[in-house]
């Protein structure tokens, strides 16, 4: 066993429901055996109870539960930064041409490495991933995540209209390729499968039926898609699905909504749609950087909470601007501030919860990950800014650990991630480089 000594913070309960959800151990201890936290508390107490255990000293930074990114696209790493256009133009101009390259196995393998290392080096230990339209590339992604150990819920993206021919499939092929991928990867190691129609705009009723058939045959799989992101998209979906009451209903009527369903965006929601999401107990993955970059709109968090809809956080790379869940937390905070009375004032506890435990709940993995309670896996990220950096000065002089957490969300980047563990295994260690010195006159 190893006794980790660290300043750690976590949210074992939901801060939107409990005012004291943020738990802080300034000099904390986590006793870890076979990758699982056996005991969690103050270092002094754990040391007294286990005086001979090996101590690993992580003081000098902030130890947080590994981030859980509930919406991120594997084949879009290289299109991060396509600014200046709204969703449907962005897809045509940036995302889809790049995604069409994933039939090339060498390209798929190279980007799979870039993708997985981008996530873990940002402190993300679990991700709900939009895969590729090509089954072979999804297989490549799972091979990479299995090798590195990233907890991954992912699936083949399926569409049969309005994208480009290379990215279209048929309901029959969507079913047979999905089935083969599920049988190979769902439940293998830390991998799970998510049935993933791209969005209703690019999916006929036949594709949605094929998705439903997979979910019926394999009840443990997850479901993810996009919904209500952009007004032009919403209007087009309304014209395409004349028998549906609204966008959410296109998935609801197909029988795709349930406890393991995560829909990204949900910026333009009717009250009926929020009610339906609450009834089906599914989750909205809020992607604030993407919503800002693509000008999609302001996420109605207050209305989600009032309706009782679960909310988690996603980076939406590459509509989003990078893999940092800290940046997503900050952007979520900014947007709620800008909404004034219609916004929810977010505190550090909310940001940490949205980036960690909320994702575990969305994936029904909260019995296993998402916080540092005893019984959870040791999935953790140590944030310790480089020597001499501004962030180091800020954290070292914070008036409280809660203020330090707020500062980390405000100014922290990938450069501040020092070490990352998944299930007790260290999967990322920062290479220390020579300190930058100001040039003297």
Ligand X SMILES: Nc1nc2[nH]cnc2c(=O)[nH]1
| Shortest distance, position 262 Cβ to Zn ion, whole Å | 11
| Shortest distance, position 154 Cβ to ligand X, whole Å | 14
Instruction: Name the residue with the smallest CB distance to ligand X.
Output: 319
144 binds, among Zn ion, ligand X, none (CB under 5 to 8 A by kind): none
| Shortest distance, position 73 Cβ to Zn ion, whole Å | 6
d(CA 84, CA 29): 47
Q: Is 233 in the site for Zn ion (CB under 5 A)?
A: no
Nearer to ligand X, 230 or 381 (CB): 230
| Shortest distance, position 236 Cβ to ligand X, whole Å | 11
Contact 151, 379 (CB under 8 A): yes
131: alpha, beta or left, given left = phi > 0 and alpha = psi -120 to 50?
A: beta
d(CA 340, CA 351): 18
Nearer to ligand X, 317 or 354 (CB): 317
Q: Which residues bind ligand X (CB under 6 A)?
A: 73, 87, 91, 95, 198-199, 226, 229, 290, 316, 319
| Shortest distance, position 120 Cβ to ligand X, whole Å | 22
Q: Which helix (H) or strand (E) holds 101?
A: none
Q: Is 316 in the site for Zn ion (CB under 5 A)?
A: yes
95 binds, among Zn ion, ligand X, none (CB under 5 to 8 A by kind): ligand X
Q: Is 371 in the site for Zn ion (CB under 5 A)?
A: no
| Shortest distance, position 232 Cβ to Zn ion, whole Å | 16
3-state secondary structure of 28: strand
Nearer to ligand X, 145 or 202 (CB): 202
d(CA 402, CA 116): 30
Which residue in this structure is represented by tokens 């919503």?
291
d(CA 73, CA 69): 11
Which range touches Zn ion (CB under 5 A), out of 163-171, 231-239, 263-271, 298-306? 263-271
158 binds, among ligand X, Zn ion, none (CB under 5 to 8 A by kind): none
Nearer to ligand X, 290 or 381 (CB): 290
Contact 150, 120 (CB under 8 A): yes
CA 67-70-75 angle, 5° bins = 105
Nearer to ligand X, 331 or 381 (CB): 331
Size of the site for Zn ion (CB under 5 A): 2
Nearer to Zn ion, 73 or 304 (CB): 73
Measuring CA to CA, which residue among 434, 402, 384, 417 is closest to residue 58? 384
d(CA 152, CA 70): 10
| Shortest distance, position 241 Cβ to ligand X, whole Å | 15
Looking at the chain, the number of H-run helices and the number of E-run strands are 17, 17
Q: What is the separation of C-alpha 276 from the centre of its chain, rounded to a whole number of angstroms?
A: 23
Cβ within 8 Å of residue 303, ≥6 positions away? 269, 271, 274
Nearer to Zn ion, 256 or 427 (CB): 256
Strand segments, DSSP code E, in 198-282 are 222-227, 261-265
| Shortest distance, position 69 Cβ to ligand X, whole Å | 14
Residues of this chain that interact with Zn ion (CB under 5 A) are 264, 316
């Amino acid at each position: 066993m190893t006794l980790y000594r660290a300043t750690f913070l976590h949210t074992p309960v939901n801060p939107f429901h409990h005012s004291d959800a943020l738990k802080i151990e300034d000099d904390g201890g986590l006793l870890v055996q076979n990758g699982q936290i056996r005991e969690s508390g103050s270092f002094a107490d754990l040391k007294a109870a286990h005086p001979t255990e090996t101590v690993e000293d992580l003081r000098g930074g902030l130890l947080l539960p590994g981030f859980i990114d509930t919406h991120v696209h594997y084949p879009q790493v290289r299109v991060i930064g396509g600014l200046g256009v709204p969703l449907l133009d962005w897809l045509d101009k940036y995302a889809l041409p790049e995604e069409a390259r994933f039939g090339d196995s060498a390209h798929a393998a190279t980007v799979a490495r870039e993708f997985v290392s981008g996530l873990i080096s940002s402190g993300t230990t679990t991700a709900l991933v939009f895969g590729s339209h090509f089954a072979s590339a999804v297989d490549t992604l799972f091979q990479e995540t299995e090798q590195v150990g990233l907890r991954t819920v992912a699936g083949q993206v399926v569409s049969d209209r309005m994208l480009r021919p290379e990215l279209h499939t048929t309901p029959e092929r969507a079913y047979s390729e999905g089935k083969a991928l599920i049988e190979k990867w769902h439940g293998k190691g830390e991998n799970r499968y998510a049935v993933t129609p791209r969005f209703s705009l690019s999916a006929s009723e036949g594709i949605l039926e094929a998705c439903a058939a997979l979910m019926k045959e394999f009840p443990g799989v997850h479901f993810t898609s996009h919904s209500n992101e952009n007004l032009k998209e919403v209007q087009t979906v309304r014209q395409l699905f004349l028998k549906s009451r609204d966008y959410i209903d296109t998935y609801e009527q197909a029988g795709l909504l349930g406890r393991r369903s995560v829909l990204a965006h949900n910026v333009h929601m009717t009250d009926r749609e929020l009610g339906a999401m609450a009834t089906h107990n599914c989750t909205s993955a809020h992607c604030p950087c993407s919503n800002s970059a693509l000008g999609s709109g302001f996420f109605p968090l207050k209305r989600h909470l009032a309706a009782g809809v679960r909310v988690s956080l996603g980076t939406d790379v590459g509509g989003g601007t990078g893999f940092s869940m800290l940046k997503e937390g900050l952007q979520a905070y900014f947007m709620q501030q800008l909404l004034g009375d219609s916004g929810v004032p977010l505190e550090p506890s909310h940001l940490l919860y949205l980036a960690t435990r909320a994702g575990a709940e969305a994936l029904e993995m909260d019995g296993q990950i998402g916080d540092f309670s005893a019984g959870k896996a040791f999935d953790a990220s140590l944030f310790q800014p480089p020597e001499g950096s501004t962030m180091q000065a800020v954290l070292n002089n914070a008036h409280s650990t809660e203020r330090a957490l707020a500062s980390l969300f405000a100014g922290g980047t990938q450069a501040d991630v020092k070490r990352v563990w998944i299930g007790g295994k260290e999967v990322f260690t920062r290479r220390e480089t020579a300190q930058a010195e100001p040039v003297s006159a």
